Amino acid sequence: MKYCIVGGVAGGATAAARIRRLDENAVIVLFERGEHISFANCGLPYFIGGTIKERSRLFVTTAEAFRARYRVDVRPGNEVISIDRKAKKIRVREISGGREYDESYDKLLLSPGAEPVKPPIPGIDTEGIFTLRNIPDTDAIRNHLEMKRPESAVVVGGGFIGLEMAENLHHLGIRVTIVEALDQVMTPIDFEMAAEVHRHIRSKNVDLILSDGVKSFARADGGVTVTLASGRTISAGIVILSIGVRPESSLARSSGLDITERGAIVVDDHLKTGDENIYAVGDAVAVMHKVSGTRMSIYLAGPANKQARIVADNMVRGDTRIYRGSAATAIAKVFDLAVASTGLSEKALRAAGIECKSVVTHASSHAGYYPDAKPLSVKLVFSPEGRILGGQIVGYDGVDARIDMIAAVIGMNGTVRDLAELDHAYAPPYSSAKDPVNAAAFAAENIVDGLVRTVNWNEINKHGDTFLLDVRSRNEFSLGSIPGSVNIPVDELRENLAMIPPNRTIIVNCAAGLRGYLASRILMQKGFKDVYNLSGGYKTYESASAGDSGHGEEFVGPDDMTYRKGVAPAGLQTHAAMILDACGLQCPGPIIKLKEAMDGSVEGSELVVVASDPGFIRDVRSWCTLTGNILVSVTEDAGKITAVVRKGARSAENAVVSTGAGETIIVFSDDLDKALAAFVLANGGAAAGKKVTMFFTFWGLSVIKKPRAKGAKKDFLGKMFSLMLPKNSRKLSLSKINMGGMGSMLMRFRMRRKKVESLEKMIDSAAAAGVEMIGCQMSMDIMGVSREELFEFVKIGGVATYLEAASSSGINLFV
Ligand code: FAD
């Protein structure tokens, strides 16, 4: 028997080796267009970033070694250009020299993989723009990095290859901007889970631009200028294009084999094409998705390798084995986070019209009392009857094992009960007696059994006139809450039922979902009819509704080499009198512990707090500023945040004292003249070297709206407000003599004549001068203004953010 194989990497090389193991007498010819067979595609980003040091480590085997061991006729540098199915012959072209020849086959396997998508964006072929698929691409990128030494990079696309490249370029000390046209990275996971990834990426000082696609590329001095749909331009010394891949199926198409609408080769359950003698595997084929039951491309190495083993059996022994499909189980390292998914996301299921329910839970990677527990967020998606349809996990430790637990249950068509009872290995350093995945399944069971109903973070307003009940402790509530919510701690709920309106929809929230569930059970059993628990609690709500407010330059991680703003303090351990372990505690647990410890300490003493909650980086800074304690340093390493705090002269109870160094302006009005006055003062203050903070609230939000913003989905009242409010700064009216818009036109005309900058220019100048502009979260919620409508440089904050700024201001104006 003679077997010809097209493609010599994951699927092709694996199948060739298996065929030899099954048939020692077979003639096997392996054609590979590139110079190398069996290289580690998945390792390429890490070689570029320097984690994998030697290029030779990328080659799992060489053509010579493969020939020697398997006696396979390996032909690198040979491209198969056509198939004569009738004559059972292929035509091959040698890449060097161009000689063409024919090769006969008895059985043919296609494993040609997938190629990066390169849409016809103007300037896409500009020098300095790269895609990453193989060794030559890797060499070209490495060469560019070594020769041109770029200081900045743009990665287009927030999929797993894009994010891996962003991390690796960052690791090389390059300032990275990620541009993603959708409103989230990592499309296999849902938005609220991706929001945790967004926050983490931004905490690394990587600029993440969402909901803005690339309009064009152009050559610029020593690099590339990337222009986005919004009009924003970014200069980069290197651009990595990673906006997706598509099946490389042109050979199959030209030989008349069936191809799906999306360009994948059609195969049956035996991985055979419509031709009796031709099989196909890997990225190029459409296989059964275990959850949707439809055929689709799954661009992952695991499925390609497993299919290769099965197809080799079918080619040698007749069609004896069936490939049962894949749940597309995947994991990626995104800086210190691991992000994993299996099955389908909630949004994918809803888009496909498949009814589903979901739950988000927050737990720790192992028992909270054992040191170094790290946060772990789990989302389960399931049918109303309880069949598991998908799982998503974001965390620092133990993400891989947990996603595989969910994948195993999906593989057996299992239910939330199967997952709740799934055996797992446990000892405190590794897990909890109830593993986080079991615990998520318990929560899902409760939903399926009708013990509780849940709402997602973005469905709070969907139920009309709702009563928002926050059952966390008063301390937790004071550090941030959902606008409009009423705080009754769960332990006091039974005594305070009279405060809860019996005829309204009640949405209960706690920090992570558990106390909310307890409160929901109390209320339901006390006769309240319409009760919902907020899935994932305030933690999910806070991170998903935070918009673009990243940590920016406030925090620089230990692996940030080029633009490091400060170094970790020397002698950290020797300074410190006490170490407080707050790992495993969710926000605001670490802050509460810190406050308790500080209350009992004397001025000048230092405390080292170690926490794993990602929000602690920002919270500890704000808390210190507000309370007059001194943040000596804050560092993060692999998800562990270490802050050194020195007790200040002023205690937490003291009133906020003005230090007089800054200027704070509350912009409440949307009148053009008042907005102009505010920005004149802001720019003046900034020019005088003051730290200026502008807090935009209620009508003032219209001043900082982008000209062509894509708005998020709004409820009815949100839409009404949108219709009535000015669309952006250009649509503002004068507070007096507006005369149906004539007045503001006249004002703008006069300003031009008098060479006074326009309001829009003033806004730009203020942003460039470092004026901090904060959109009031509460006003945004009330007025239905979404994050996407505001300029990227606007941060979102609440009253605590304003108070923090005001406390260091000598001037505090209300416009
Ligand atoms: P490939 O392994 O791509 O092999 C196809 C080969 O066929 C290519 O070398 C090509 O040159 C050759 N070929 C094509 N047409 C012809 C022809 N006409 N004649 C001769 N030769 C031809 N997956 C994961 O699961 N986890 C990861 O972490 C991961 N990371 C990745 C990182 C990168 C940068 C890339 C590019 C991919 C990554 N993948 C990852 C995807 C994974 O590599 C693929 O799913 C897998 O390699 C698919 O195997 P395949 O055999 O179908 O195609």
Q: How far is the CA of 576 from the centre of ligand 1 (A)?
A: 52
**Ligand 1 site, residue 45, Cβ cutoff 6 A:** yes
| pLDDT-based confidence at residue 796 (cuts at 50, 70, 90) | confident
What is the rounded CA–CA span in Å between residue 584 and residue 371?
9
What is the rounded CA–CA span in Å between residue 395 and residue 430?
14
Q: How far is the CA of 113 from the centre of ligand 1 (A)?
A: 5
- 637, amino acid identity: D
- Label the pairing between strands 278-280 and 107-110: parallel
Contact 338, 400 (CB under 8 A): yes
Q: How far is the CA of 10 from the centre of ligand 1 (A)?
A: 6
Out of 9, 138, 240, 399, mutate this one to test ligand 1's pocket (max ligand atoms within 8 Å of CB): namely 9
pTM of the model: 0.75
How many C-beta atoms lie closer than 10 Å to residue 806's C-beta?
18
Q: How far is the CA of 582 from the centre of ligand 1 (A)?
A: 44
| pLDDT of res. 133 | 97
Q: How far is the CA of 173 from the centre of ligand 1 (A)?
A: 28
State both tokens at 630. 């001194």
What is the rounded CA–CA span in Å between residue 605 and residue 598?
9
Q: Report pLDDT digits (tens) over 510-563.
A: 999 999 999 999 999 999 999 999 999 999 998 898 765 433 333 333 333 322
Contact 284, 298 (CB under 8 A): no
**Ligand 1 site, residue 779, Cβ cutoff 6 A:** no
**Ligand 1 site, residue 12, Cβ cutoff 6 A:** yes
pLDDT (average), residues 163-176: 96
pLDDT (average), residues 279-298: 97
Order of strands across the sheet that contains 107-110: 73-76, 27-32, 2-6, 107-110, 278-280
Q: Report pLDDT digits (tens) over 453-496.
A: 999 999 988 877 899 999 998 878 877 889 889 999 999 999 99
Q: Pick from 154, 118, 161: which is nearest to 232 by CA?
A: 154
- DSSP per residue, 744-760: HHHHHHHHHHTTPPPHH
Q: Report pLDDT digits (tens) over 768-786.
A: 878 889 888 778 878 888 8
Contact 85, 278 (CB under 8 A): yes
| C-alpha pair distances (Å), 655 with each of 620, 625, 803 | 18, 12, 11
| pLDDT of res. 385 | 97
**Ligand 1 site, residue 301, Cβ cutoff 6 A:** yes
What is the rounded CA–CA span in Å between residue 167 and residue 161?
10
What is the rounded CA–CA span in Å between residue 21 and residue 38?
17
* Residue 6 or residue 653, greater confidence: 6
What is the rounded CA–CA span in Å between residue 207 and residue 205?
6
Residue 717 main-chain phi, psi, to 5 deg: -65, -35
Give the chain's mean pLDDT.
Answer: 89
Q: Report pLDDT digits (tens) over 257-273.
A: 999 999 999 999 999 99
Q: Report pLDDT digits (tens) over 80-108.
A: 999 999 999 999 999 999 999 999 999 99
Beta bridge partners of 358: 381
What is the rounded CA–CA span in Å between residue 199 and residue 339?
13
Coil, helix or strand at residue 319: coil
Torsion of CA 675, 680, 681, 687, to 10 degrees: 140
Q: Is 553 left (phi over 0), alpha (psi -120 to 50) or beta?
A: alpha
Q: Report pLDDT digits (tens) over 607-658.
A: 999 888 777 887 788 778 777 888 888 887 777 888 999 888 764 443 333 3
| pLDDT of res. 567 | 33
| pLDDT of res. 549 | 42
**Ligand 1 site, residue 775, Cβ cutoff 6 A:** no
pLDDT (average), residues 711-722: 74
Contact 95, 78 (CB under 8 A): yes
**Ligand 1 site, residue 20, Cβ cutoff 6 A:** no
Can you list the positions of beta strands (E) in 496-542? 505-509, 531-534
| C-alpha pair distances (Å), 377 with each of 343, 397, 435, 483, 652 | 17, 11, 12, 24, 32
CA angle in degrees (0–180, nearest 5) for 667-672-675: 30
Q: Report pLDDT digits (tens) over 13-70.
A: 999 999 999 999 999 999 999 999 999 999 999 999 999 999 999 999 999 999 999 9
| pLDDT of res. 252 | 98
Q: Pick from 468, 500, 472: which is nearest to 482 by CA?
A: 468
| pLDDT of res. 573 | 36
Catalytic residues: 587
| pLDDT of res. 586 | 66
How many C-beta atoms lie closer than 10 Å to residue 333's C-beta?
16
What is the rounded CA–CA span in Å between residue 306 and residue 745?
68
Q: Is the pLDDT of residue 712 over 90?
A: no
Lowest-pLDDT range, 121-130, 307-316, 484-493, 704-713? 704-713
**Ligand 1 site, residue 18, Cβ cutoff 6 A:** no
How many C-beta atoms lie closer than 10 Å to residue 265's C-beta?
28
Contact 506, 500 (CB under 8 A): yes
Q: Is the pLDDT of residue 724 over 50?
A: yes
Q: Report pLDDT digits (tens) over 659-683.
A: 467 889 999 999 999 999 899 888 8
| pLDDT of res. 555 | 33
Contact 639, 196 (CB under 8 A): no
| pLDDT of res. 528 | 95
Out of 18, 73, 109, 283, mutate this one to test ligand 1's pocket (max ligand atoms within 8 Å of CB): namely 283
Q: Is the pLDDT of residue 576 over 70?
A: no
Lowest-pLDDT range, 208-217, 573-582, 687-696? 573-582
**Ligand 1 site, residue 103, Cβ cutoff 6 A:** no
Q: How far is the CA of 790 from the centre of ligand 1 (A)?
A: 41
Coil, helix or strand at residue 126: coil
Q: Is the pLDDT of residue 397 over 70?
A: yes
CA angle in degrees (0–180, nearest 5) for 370-376-380: 135
